[in-house]
Amino acid sequence: MSVHALTDSWTMTRRELARWQRQPVQLAVGLVFPVMLLLMFGYLVGGGRGVAGDYRDYLIPGMLALTMAFGLEGTMIAVTQDLDKGVIDRFRSMPMANGAVLVGRSAADMLQSVLTLLVLIAVGAALGWRPGGGPAALLGALGLLLLFRFAMLWIGIHLALVAGRPELVQAVQILVWPVGFLSNAFATPGSMPGWLGTAVEWNPLSHTATAVRHLFGVPGAESGHVGWAFLWPLALLAVFFPLAVRRFARLSR
Amino acid sequence: MADAAITVEGAEKRYGAKKALDGLDLTVARGTVHGVLGPNGAGKTTLVRVLSTLLRPDAGRIRVAGHDVVREAYAVRLRIGLLGQHAALDEELGGRQNLELFGRLHHLGARRARARADELLERFGLAGTGRKAVRQYSGGMRRRLDLAASLITEPEVLFLDEPTTGLDPRGRAEVWNSVRSLVGAGTTVLLTTQYLEEADQLADRISVVDAGRVIADGTADELKAATGGDRIDVVLRDADRLDAAVALLPLTGITVDADRRLLSAPVTDRMEALSAVVRALEQAGIQAEDVALRRPTLDEVFLHLTGDDTRMKEAA
């Protein structure tokens, strides 16, 4: 069985790529949406309360991290749709490697996240933003962002398997947005009321955003967050990866 | 049975307090079509999900194509095809893309997966669909593609769970024709259905399932005979005379369908019953529009076996 684990996972990844090809508009919308958010917050809303220095330098790392958090929704929608259509039943009744369904999902979502990050960075560059720290810092930042996305991905798979139906995705969206905005993506915790600021500082998204700012040389972003940006996603994975795998196996109960 | 494609002994599956399978036994001979007939909630889908390794039974010894569904699930999966109640396809992809995907997951390799996809599209009349997404297919087309997907490796055993539910008459005929052509090739088919006509048309043998167990088993003719053989139907001209006719006719177990002005009852001696009924009606001056002898329908068999006919009689 394990002989097929790799080929089956690759086949399932290719299935997702074929879906992109069939729905280029949907893929494009997914890539443009974060750019819109960036432009809105950078130029229209006029955020940046408590931010010293250039707001763009503060905002863009925040947007990169926020986009990774929102990826949770996309993962969850895709998994619930497969469950709802019954196509997962067909996969499960076939002599394929059991985990390939989930591995294919992860690979495709991670690939999409890489694309999203590159588009956001390119748009930032076009607006005149230049990250400090050089190529090594850029790669390190991308690594931390994708690690965070990977944790969100498995939370998304788990929630989808728990919810089981596309209708319940909305309930999660209502929760993801406040968690996304209750972070330091747009404004510093110091500019918020005490308890709110504390919650914002604890948010894993804030740690990843600050770690990326630190790597890009944004003033005021302390290096200690890099460690937290490692530990938080790993801790979330340690909880949600086994939960999701167990939930998937329990589809047969 | 040595040449059985499916054997189920004492299958049990409960969901909380509800027993979906309650000691179900079933044997299906190789190369036959076996109909599993029952109302909604009888346990038909649970049975198919257990047989196709999607669901783990709580108890029972269940073998499909020579392998245990729990301990040798992988070996079973190599040998089965499944057509579930809802189309199990990737709606965004085209027909060929779907079949190629499933072919690759059956480890046919790229070239054979492609060839097999072409072959199946041709066979199920879907060769002209091109790149059209399954989302845009008609119900009948989707069902045929779904059936094609369950036949990628020419399975030994094919499970069809209510294959024509929700299809229009044309779509139903399409699926029936496809199933008939399969049987010739030696595949064993287990078919669940709520439609008695479907079981009658397609199945060699039928198991009637109710509340998670098999309550009767046999060919369509055997099941019909078990319900008491022939029946007599009398259609009256005047609905007001129905009660009088019931009191008068020398028959037992009469059921009444007032809307159709119809009396129906089982008979043992056909000719004697026919002449007795005609005579009795004549003497009482009740006019009949039609008097006919016939075999019972599977609907009557089913109602008889599930005990619902007693309720009907009481209501009548």
- CA R_g for chain A: 19
Span B167-200, pLDDT tens digits: 888 888 888 888 888 877 788 999 998 887 788 8
Give the least confident one: A229-243, B66-80, B297-311. B297-311
Question: Domain segments of chain A: what residues?
Answer: 2-252
Q: Give the integer Cα–Cα distance in Å for A122 and B7.
A: 62
CATH 3.40.50.300 region(s) of chain B?
A: 4-225
Q: pLDDT class for B228, splitting at 50, 70, 90? A: low
Over residues A186-244, the pLDDT tens digits come to 888 878 888 888 888 889 999 999 999 999 988 888 888 899 999 999 999 999 999 99
d(CA B70, CA B9): 13
Q: What pLDDT is stored for residue B313 in this prediction? A: 39
pLDDT digit string (tens) for B37-66? 988 888 999 999 999 999 999 999 999 999
Q: How confident is the model at residue B314 (pLDDT cuts 50, 70, 90)?
A: very low
The conformation of residue B295, written as its DSSP 8-state character, comes to P
CA distances (Å), origin B220, targets A53, A235, B9, B227, B309:
84, 61, 23, 11, 19
Nearest-by-Cβ selection for A93 from B53, B56, B85: B53
Assess whether pLDDT exceeds 90 at residue A41.
no
Q: Is A250 on the interface with B (CB under 8 A)?
A: no
Cα of A22 to nearest chain B Cα, Å: 7
Exposure string over B236-272, b if 16+ CB within 10 A, otherwise e = beeeebbeebeeebebeebbbeeeebbbbbbbeeeee
Answer yes or no: are the C-beta atoms of B203 and B191 closer than 8 Å: yes
- Give the distance from residue B18's alpha carbon to the nearest chain A alpha carbon, in angstroms: 14
DSSP classification of residue A115: H
Output phi, psi for B137, to 5 deg.
-75, 155
pLDDT over 60 (residue A24): yes
What is the radius of gyration, based on Cα positions, of chain B?
Answer: 24
When pLDDT is cut at 50, 70 and 90, the band that residue B315 belongs to is: very low
Which residues on B lie below 8 Å from A77 (Cβ)?
none
According to CATH, the topology of domain B4-225 is: Rossmann fold (3.40.50)
In a mutational test of the B interface, the residue from A87, A91, A105, A253 whose CB has the highest number of chain B CBs within 10 Å is A87
Which candidate, A77, A30, A33, places its Cα nearest to that of A172?
A77
Whether the CB of B197 is below 8 Å from some CB of chain A: the reply is no
**Confidence grade of residue B311 (pLDDT, cut at 50, 70, 90):** very low
Cβ of B77 and A85 within 8 Å?
Answer: no
Looking at residues B144-156, what average pLDDT do you find?
91
How far is B304 from A186, CA to CA, in rounded Å?
71
Per-residue pLDDT, averaged over A27-35, amounts to 91
The pLDDT value recorded for residue A184 is: 87
Q: Which two tokens stand for residue A106?
A: 């992860």
CA pair distance B38, B48, nearest whole angstrom: 13
> Is the four-CA dihedral A47, A49, A55, A61 of positive or negative sign?
negative
State the pLDDT at residue B6: 96
- Comparing A193-197, B68-72, B126-130, the range with the smallest average pLDDT is A193-197
d(CA B51, CA B64): 7
CATH 3.30.70.100 fits B230-294, yes or no: yes
Cα-Cα-Cα-Cα dihedral sign, residues A35, A39, A40, A45: positive
- Judge whether residue A47 has pLDDT over 70: no
What are residue A18's phi and psi, to 5 degrees? Answer: -65, -35
String of DSSP letters for B131-185: T-BGGGS-HHHHHHHHHHHTTTT--SEEEEESTTTT--HHHHHHHHHHHHHHHTT
User: Per residue in A123-165, pLDDT tens?
Assistant: 999 988 988 888 999 999 999 999 999 999 999 999 999 988 7
Check CB contact under 8 Å for B92 and A19.
yes
Identify which of A212, A221, A175, A178 has the alpha carbon closest to the alpha carbon of residue A65.
A212
Rounded CA separation B143/B171 (Å): 8
- Residues B241-295 have pLDDT tens digits of 888 888 888 888 888 888 889 998 888 888 888 999 999 999 988 889 999 888 7
Task: List the single residue in A87, A94, A251 with the smallest CB-CB distance to B77.
Answer: A94
Per-residue pLDDT at B310 exceeds 50? no
